[in-house]
Amino acid sequence: MTLPPLPLSLFHERTTAYPPSHIVGGRDYEPMKLYTADQMRDYATAAVQAEREACAKMCVDYAMRTPSKLEQIASDNCAAAIRARTD
């Protein structure tokens, strides 16, 4: 799975920002937390890895339930291939 590129932030040097008052009706609001591109890439990488592990676990769980040795081997190979992906 390839994620789209992250957009550039309008607040490169800041970690928090306040929404413009014309957007929120002139009321005071809590600051919004802003993340760097590296933080978002790390988050996306962790999300992809978690999804891959969940898919691989399904293969392993199936391998443990099936009585067929051939299906067990195929399921274990599938789980290994999912975990080995780097793209």
Task: Please name which of 75, 56, 55, 79 lies closest in space to residue 66, comparing C-alpha atoms.
Answer: 75
In the predicted structure, residue 8 carries a pLDDT above the cut 60: no
Q: Which of 13-17, 29-33, 51-55 has the highest mean pLDDT?
A: 51-55
Exposed/middle/buried for residue 29 (C-beta within 10 Å: 0-12, 13-18, 19+) = exposed
Confidence of residue 1 (pLDDT cuts 50, 70, 90): low
Q: What is the pLDDT of residue 81?
A: 93
Q: What is the pLDDT of residue 69?
A: 92
In the predicted structure, residue 18 carries a pLDDT above the cut 70: no
Q: What is the pLDDT of residue 59?
A: 92
Write out pLDDT tens, residues 44-70: 888 888 889 989 999 999 888 888 999
Amino acid (1-letter code) at residue 49: Q
